[in-house]
Amino acid sequence: MTGVWTLVRLALRRDRIMIPVWIGAFVLMTVTSVAGTVGLYPDAASRTAASAGINDVPSLVALYGRIYDTTSLGALSMIKMDGLGTAFVAVLCLLLAVRHSRAEEEAGRLELIGAGVVGRYAALTAALLVSVGTSLVLGVVTALTLIASGLAVAGSLAFGAAWVGAGIAFAGIGVLSAQLTRGSRGANSIGMVALGAVYLLRAVGDSRGPEWLSWLSPIGLSQQIRPFAGDRWWVFLVLTGVAAVLTLGAYALHGRRDLDTGLLPERAGRPRASAFLHGPLGLAWRLHRGSVLGWAAGFLVLGAVCGSIANNIGALETTPQVKALFEAMGGQQGITNAFIAAELSIGGLIAAAYGVQATMRLHGEEASLHAESLLATGVSRVRWALSHLVVVAIGCAALLTAMGLGASLTDGRMLIGAALTQLPAALVLVGLTVAAFGFLPRLSALGWAALVAFLFIGELGPLVPLNHWVMDLSPFTHLPKLPGGAVTATPLIWLSVVAVGFAAAGLAAFRRRDLV
């Protein structure tokens, strides 16, 4: 175990910004969640009705979990944090565990460190400590935040413990999957698939039963601590046991393998490129393929869940505030249409996030010197960049189509067209990212800043009356509200023109600048 502390300090030094930002984001989510619930359901009767309403809608129970005490303010406030929030905690701990074990090994840095005075298990232990430590800090900070927001002290502590429990379980899954594959991407994928599987397990267990299915899932176990509704601490001990078993498994596997190998066999690939990998477009598709397909699967599920909730939305129509909120977000009468329209616009934002991330790949390929190899052949800069952008644009369209398809399947109406109206706005963000890449390659992340700004405009707009001029900045403001609203082609055309204009300007600048 020699050297563990040095490695932990190295990891914390590297993540000194990332970890606090994540924790801050979680705190912000919990604070807004409590404040929002208090505002929406001002009295005990409305809260009880809302809680009972959620418990009556199977798709909501599947998505978030069950409210075990319908009279509790804390249980209602934290329902989203209890479900999706816990999943995000799991993602954070998983990524941290893999990042400081397998990713270091893959990059060859562990070899450098391993040749120093460092024990065989030191890197694994350090990754585990960083991940578990982060979840502990997150749990404590969250519990204190909830207490400060005025929720019951015991329940707040139990809620913190529920997040810690999920966090340490996924730290265990992270270090375990890090033993299996040679690459960190593979280890992350295994962990994410595991997360999806256990989330699904508890979704089925909570909404349809049998209930013991939820007990097989670390996420389900975390919810069974039942913060603000019984505070069952013994379930936390069960989770600790699960984490311990996973961790011991990781140590056992680690002792049986060599440095820089995985336990899953590395398959031999193609000795020759297929006819498809013929040019920059084929390569771009190959590079984006995995992420497009992964995101599309997520969008299909998201759409299906939204369509299904929308069909049962009547049960939630408990207070005039809720109704007003949805109608403001959806911008029309009829709560079902309003809900779907609101969810589709969130889908549009997420599709834009995919678009920004995928477009940033241009910068990634340039910085990693991959682009240099291509641009030293007969491929022009514009052709190279366009081949990525074509894939990104088709990718955005595919995600929205998947969401529309999912919603159509559960809602029964054809909603793909409604989902696709979000495309021009998402492409404006792609265009902005291209412009940043062309003009200010070091500030390629400007696309993200724009997305966050538009997100705030979109989320705050219905709640706080914003200046029209500010509202109009966001491309999402100009989209027709579908389904239910009137389809107008003019804004869609204009947004497309703006998107193409930004992209063209960015490409023109890219042609004229030095490669980094």
Q: Which residues bind another protein (CB under 8 A)?
A: 106, 182-183, 185, 266, 268-273, 277-280, 282-283, 286-287, 368-370, 372-380, 512-515
Dihedral sign from CA coordinates of 288, 291, 292, 293 = positive
Q: Taking each helix axis as running N to C, give the angle between helix 18-40 and helix 86-99, from 0 to 180 degrees, rounded to the nearest 10.
A: 180
Q: How far is CA 214 from the centre of its chain?
A: 22
C-alpha–C-alpha distance, residues 490 and 70, integer Å: 47
Closest CA to 105 of 252, 266, 260: 260
Dihedral sign from CA coordinates of 249, 250, 255, 256 = positive
Between 211 and 372, whose beta carbon lies closer to another protein? 372
CB of 449 to another protein, least distance (A): 25
Between 82 and 365, whose beta carbon lies closer to another protein? 365
CB of 182 to another protein, least distance (A): 7
Distances (CA, A) of 136 to 99, 222, 254: 18, 14, 25
CB of 371 to another protein, least distance (A): 9
Q: Which of left, alpha, beta for 231 (phi over 0: left; psi -120 to 50: alpha)?
A: left
CB of 271 to another protein, least distance (A): 4
Between 208 and 289, whose beta carbon lies closer to another protein? 289
Give me the residue label for tokens 């799991």: 90
C-alpha–C-alpha distance, residues 110 and 99, integer Å: 12
CB of 101 to another protein, least distance (A): 17
Query: Hey, what are 309's tokens?
Result: 């909730």
Q: Would you say 27 and 141 are in contact if contact means Cβ atoms under 8 Å apart?
A: yes
Query: Hey, what are 482's tokens?
Result: 């579908």
Between 364 and 417, whose beta carbon lies closer to another protein? 364
Q: Which of left, alpha, beta for 29 (phi over 0: left; psi -120 to 50: alpha)?
A: alpha
CB of 375 to another protein, least distance (A): 6
Between 277 and 493, whose beta carbon lies closer to another protein? 277
CB of 286 to another protein, least distance (A): 7
Between 58 and 279, whose beta carbon lies closer to another protein? 279
C-alpha–C-alpha distance, residues 328 and 331, integer Å: 5
Between 287 and 397, whose beta carbon lies closer to another protein? 287
